[in-house]
Structure 1
Amino acid sequence: DIAMLCSHMLHELPSKKRLHKSTIEVLSHYTYPGNIRELKNIVEQAYLLADENVIYPTDLPELVSEPIAQNNASIVTLEAAEAKYLEEVVAKHEGSIDSLAVALGVSQRTLYRKLQALGLKVK
Structure 2
Amino acid sequence: MAVSDECKLKFLELKAKRNYRFIVFKIENQEVVVDKVGSPQETYDDFTASLPHDECRYAVFDFDFTTIENVQKSKIFFIAWAPDISKVRHKMVYASSKDRFKRELDGIQVELQATDPSEMSIDIIKGRAI
Do the two structures share a fold, i.e. TM-score over 0.5?
Answer: no
Normalising by the smaller structure, the TM-score range is: under 0.3
Question: TM-score under structure 2 normalisation?
Answer: 0.23
Question: TM-score under structure 1 normalisation?
Answer: 0.24
Between structures 1 and 2, the one with greater helix share: 1
Between structures 1 and 2, the one with greater strand share: 2
